[in-house]
């Protein structure tokens, strides 16, 4: 069986969607950002996920974005398309469109807001996994979805041949280890602050927001764990704590990541779409200090 690392990569970045001041997608910004991610060690790009402002992207914009990123990345990174909604029929359609646009894999969020039963979550995920030939990474994020993908549901879904991985933003390491021990599901940490403990517990990789600006650090962290060099892994994780706090702990993550990328000159503008807002001055100042505190590739 093909490994999860081959299907999805290990050092994944939840890519922001660069925008012009009028809110339209910045094609130059997309190209510049993809090149930056590839040059700093990212081997998997998550397009149109939460950090990519998926709730405010139209289906046409999403498909064009997937197509653009896939063409730019080529065979240098896997492209994982966020296609999950709380409507199964819409998610099936989006999955098929993503496959046609050149995605290598799908990111499927737990259906949000309408709070289905676990049987409903299972039926939803299976319908989407059956809709294409692409491997699927489940996205378990209770704070956003309103419900979790429970342990028994994860174990059941692991029986589907195309459901191969979990982006875990639940933060329950005991559950994660239990599922990893009992299934073939590969885990990816979806909480930047916990990358080290997840990797040490057996996660294959990360899906990182902070990786928009610090993918090289994440690559080094993953490499240190693979080399059983825990001392180096700790040092790398500790060096990122301030940046993780600035991006994920002080304001909205997508907005903060865009602000960081614009400050570094990687994308032209930090524009986000309502209801998101650009960070307040105090948050921007905190971010600037965090960026100065770590060594970023030129």
Q: 53-58 long-range CB contacts below 8 Å, 24 or more apart? A: 53/16, 53/17, 53/254, 53/272, 53/273, 53/276, 54/82, 56/273, 56/274, 56/276, 57/17
Q: How many CB atoms lie within 10 A of CB 84?
A: 29
| pLDDT, tens digit, 9 for 90 and up, residues 263-279 | 999 999 999 999 999 99
pLDDT in tens, 56-67: 999 999 999 999
| pLDDT at residue 295 is higher than 80 | no
| Pairing status of strand 205-208 against strand 105-109 | unpaired
3-state helix, strand, coil in the chain (%, to 5): 50, 15, 35
Whether the per-residue pLDDT at 298 is higher than 70: the answer is: no
Q: What is the pLDDT of residue 297?
A: 63
- Taking domain 4-228, whether its CATH number is 3.40.50.300 is answered by no
Residue 290 has pLDDT above 70, yes or no: yes
Nearest to 259 by CA among 248, 128, 201, 158: 248
DSSP 49: S
Q: What is the pLDDT of residues 136-151, one digit of tens each?
A: 999 999 999 999 999 9
Query: Can you give the pLDDT at residue 296?
Result: 73
pLDDT in tens, 16-59: 999 999 999 999 999 999 999 999 999 999 999 999 999 999 99
The structural domains of the chain, with segments of one domain joined by +, span 4-228
Residues annotated as catalytic (active site), given as ranges: 139, 167
- Contact between 221 and 237 (Cβ < 8 Å): yes
**pLDDT of 82 strictly over 80:** yes
Residue 258: strand, helix, or coil: helix
């Amino acid at each position: 069986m093909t490994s999860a690392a081959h299907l999805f990569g290990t050092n994944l970045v939840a890519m922001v969607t660069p925008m012009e001041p009028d809110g339209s997608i910045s094609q130059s910004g997309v190209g510049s950002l993809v090149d930056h991610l590839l040059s700093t060690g990212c081997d998997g790009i998550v397009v149109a996920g939460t950090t990519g402002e998926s709730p405010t992207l139209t289906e046409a914009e999403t498909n064009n974005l997937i197509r653009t990123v896939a063409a730019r990345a080529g065979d240098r990174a896997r492209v994982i398309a966020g296609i999950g909604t709380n409507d199964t029929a819409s998610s099936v359609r989006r999955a098929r469109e993503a496959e046609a646009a050149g995605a290598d894999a799908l990111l499927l969020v737990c259906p949000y807001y309408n709070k289905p039963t676990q049987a409903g979550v299972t039926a939803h995920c299976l319908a989407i996994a059956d809709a294409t030939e692409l491997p699927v990474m489940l996205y378990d994020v209770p704070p956003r979805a309103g419900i979790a993908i429970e342990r028994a549901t994860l174990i059941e879904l692991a029986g589907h041949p195309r459901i191969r991985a979990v982006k875990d933003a639940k933060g329950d390491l005991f559950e994660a280890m239990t599922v990893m021990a009992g299934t073939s599901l590969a885990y990816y940490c979806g909480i930047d602050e916990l990358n080290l403990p997840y990797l040490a517990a057996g996660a294959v990789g990360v899906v990182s927001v902070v990786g928009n600006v610090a993918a090289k650090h994440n690559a080094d962290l993953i490499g240190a764990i693979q080399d059983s060099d825990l001392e180096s892994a700790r040092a790398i994780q500790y060096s990122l704590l301030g940046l993780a706090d600035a991006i994920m702990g002080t304001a909205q993550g997508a907005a903060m990541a865009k602000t960081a990328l614009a400050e570094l000159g990687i994308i032209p503008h930090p524009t986000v779409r309502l209801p998101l807002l650009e960070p307040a001055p105090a948050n921007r100042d905190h971010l600037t200090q965090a960026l100065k505190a770590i060594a970023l590739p030129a």
